[in-house]
Amino acid sequence: MEPTPSATDVVDPAQLEDEYGVRNYDPLPVVVSRGEGAWVEDVQGRRYFDALSAYSALNFGHRHPRLLAAARKQLDRLTLTSRAFRNDRLGEFCRRLAEAGSSDRVLPMNTGAEAVETAIKAARKWGYEVKGIAPGRAKIVVCRGNFHGRTTTIVSFSDDAPARASFGPYTPGFESIPFGDLAALEAALDDDTAGFLVEPIQGEAGVIIPPTGYLTGAQELCARANVLMIADEIQSGLGRTGRMWACDHEEVSPDLLLVGKALGGGIVPVSAVVGSTEVLGLFRPGQHGSTFGGNPLACAVALEVLDLLADGSLAQNAAALGERFLRSLEAASHSGVAGIRQRGLWIGVDIHDGTPTARTVCERLLEEGVLAKETQERTIRFAPPLTTSGDELDWLLERVNSVLAEL
Ligand code: PXG
């Protein structure tokens, strides 16, 4: 690796960002300049354990050697063609991801929000052309507390005030129901409903796990009402929860599966919609696309991502270490902790009212060498890389427990 320039050589990068960037984020006060595996180093050379993993985009840690090798090999051959021409990696990528998602076809995009937008278009198109919904009437049912991205259409059905306010007029055609409530879902599904869009575990809401049977029940209700079940696995998928997909915990196969974040191996943005020929086969040339979607560099990295997950051992590691994480925090029975939710290496820790905010706890963790991020006012979310070792987890737990003990 190139040596990191010393702090005195360069203008303070945080100051530059604040002066010339846009303040649409409120990052923790650390400037990261290198990373390897679960660890990053800041511009002063301090090491931190990355327990956020870029919201699951770094499921394999920083600069996984096999992902770097796959990217380098592809960089030396071909990076981009646009979809005006074919490239020699796209077909293989589509086949492998379709198989991993137990479905027929793959529509590649780049960011998660684009995969969500694509699924909304696909469901509406299917609703009009197959289900027979009257023109302009297609409805998509979504859940309260959802996070699916930040486009104008997606924030239209968000209930997160800062994400939504001042960005109207809002896109119509969505109905929001409580998450985890099958009776509400049954009541919302009607002849005009094309899709039910759901995170199998709500990430940004605080790693909210629905009641057992919710996903199976939702699949049954959708099938009965002739509605597409659309699972947003952009954050929950690709091994994070201890299985390849969070839907696997209930053996549910959604009609449309949305994949993103870790699919790009932390190197390039790669997202995709996986679905049946009946739905995705409806698209004709010119009806949807993206300059970068399906580019050969993205495909090469994503193929290596699928290879890394193929034998299930990383998901198993996530399941085992996640349970250890939970047991360790439970055994410590911190008085400041109100609740813990865990599925694989995805953990939400609620802190009691009256203690410092989750943000303050994340600032304390930072001082102890742990990068984690609050979600909502009172929840700290941990998502260490799936490649974390047992020793690394012990190191992390020691710091997390000592900070939580201060509450
Ligand atoms: N679906 C889910 C479940 C997500 O968590 C998206 C879609 C959108 O992905 P893109 O790639 O368009 O960001 C997400 C994103 C952030 C941020 O700062 C994003 C997410 C989580 C936390 C912060 O934009 N998840």
Question: What token pair was written down for 23?
Answer: 């303040």
Mean pLDDT of 332-343: 97
Nearest residue (by CA) to ligand 1, atom 7, is 148
Distance, first Cα to last Cα, the chain = 40
d(CA 70, CA 268): 12
Residue for token digits 């699972």? Answer: 231
Testing ligand 1's pocket by substitution, the residue of 147, 154, 233, 245 carrying the most ligand atoms inside 8 A of its CB is: 147
DSSP β-bridge partners for residue 382? 347
Is there a cis peptide before residue 178, judged by omega within 30 degrees of 0?
no
User: What pLDDT digit, counting tens, does each position of 373-396 carry?
Assistant: 999 999 999 999 999 999 999 999
Q: What share of the chain is helix, strand, coil (3-state, %, to 5)?
A: 40, 15, 45
Q: Is 110 in the pocket of ligand 1 (CB under 6 A)?
A: no
CA of 237 to the centre of ligand 1 (A): 13
What is the C-alpha radius of gyration for the chain, rounded to an integer number of angstroms? 21
Buried b (16+ CB within 10 A) or exposed e, 154-177: bbbbbeeeeebeeeeeeeebbbbb
252-298 per-position pLDDT tens digit: 999 999 999 999 999 999 999 999 999 999 999 999 999 999 999 99
Q: Which of 323, 316, 253 is nearest to 101 (CA)?
A: 253
Average pLDDT, the chain: 97
Cα(85) to centroid(ligand 1), Å: 30
Report how far residue 158's alpha carbon sits from residue 174's, in angstroms, rounded to the nearest whole number.
10
Mean pLDDT of 164-175: 97
Q: Tell me which residues are annotated as active site.
A: 147, 232, 261
CA 388 to ligand 1 center in whole angstroms: 22
Ligand 1: which of 59, 204, 382 to mutate, judged by most atoms within 8 Å of the beta carbon?
204
Element (DSSP H or E) covering residue 339 = strand 337-342
The residues, ordered by sequence, that sit 6+ positions from 257 with a Cβ below 8 Å of its Cβ are 101, 103, 231, 233, 237, 245, 247, 273, 274, 275
Check pLDDT > 80 for residue 343. yes
Of ligand 1's listed atoms, the one at least distance from the Cα of 236 is 3
- Sheet of 373-375: strand order equals 337-342, 347-351, 379-382, 373-375
Which pLDDT score, from 0 to 100, does residue 190 have?
98
The pTM of the full predicted model, rounded to 2 decimals, is 0.97
For ligand 1, say whether the CB of 299 is within 6 Å of any of its atoms. no
Which residues touch 179 (CB under 8 Å, ≥6 apart)?
Answer: 143, 144, 145, 146, 198, 202, 205, 208, 210
pLDDT tens profile 63-114: 999 999 999 999 999 999 999 999 999 999 999 999 999 999 999 999 999 9
**Residue 384 beta carbon below 6 angstroms from any ligand 1 atom:** no
Which residues in 215-289 belong to E strands, given as ranges? Answer: 228-232, 256-259, 271-275
Q: What is the pLDDT of residue 6?
A: 56
Give yes or no for residue 381 CB within 6 A of ligand 1. no
pLDDT band at 33 (very low <50, low <70, confident <90, very high): very high
To test the pocket of ligand 1, the residue of 22, 23, 55 to mutate (highest count of ligand atoms within 8 Å of its CB) is 55
CB neighbourhood size of 186 (10 A): 15
pLDDT recorded at residue 82: 97
Query: Does the pLDDT at position 11 exceed 90?
Result: no
**Confidence category of residue 8, pLDDT binned at 50, 70, 90:** low
The pLDDT of residue 72 is 98
Q: Structure tokens of 379?
A: 């929840």
pLDDT tier for residue 2 given thresholds of 50, 70 and 90: low
Given this model, what pLDDT does residue 236 score?
98
Q: Which residues contact 182 (CB under 8 A, 6 or more apart)?
A: 214, 217, 218, 221
On the question of pLDDT at 311 being above 60, the answer is yes
Does 204 sit in the ligand 1 pocket, CB within 6 Å?
Answer: yes
* pLDDT for 5 beyond 90: no
Summarize the confidence of residues 215-241 as an average pLDDT: 98
pLDDT of residue 355: 77
Distance CA 389, CA 394 (A): 9
How many C-beta atoms lie closer than 10 Å to residue 141's C-beta?
26
385: amino acid identity, one letter: P
Please compute the mean of the pLDDT values over residues 127-155 and round it to a whole number: 98
pLDDT above 70 covers what percent of the chain?
A: 98
Q: How many angstroms separate the alpha carbon of residue 231 from the centre of ligand 1?
A: 14
CA distance 43 to 324: 32
Ligand 1 centroid to Cα of residue 6, in Å, is 33
Counting DSSP H helices and E strands in the chain, the numbers are: 14, 15
CB 116 near ligand 1, within 6 Å? yes
Q: What pLDDT shows up at residue 38?
A: 98
Q: For position 44, what pLDDT does the model report?
A: 97
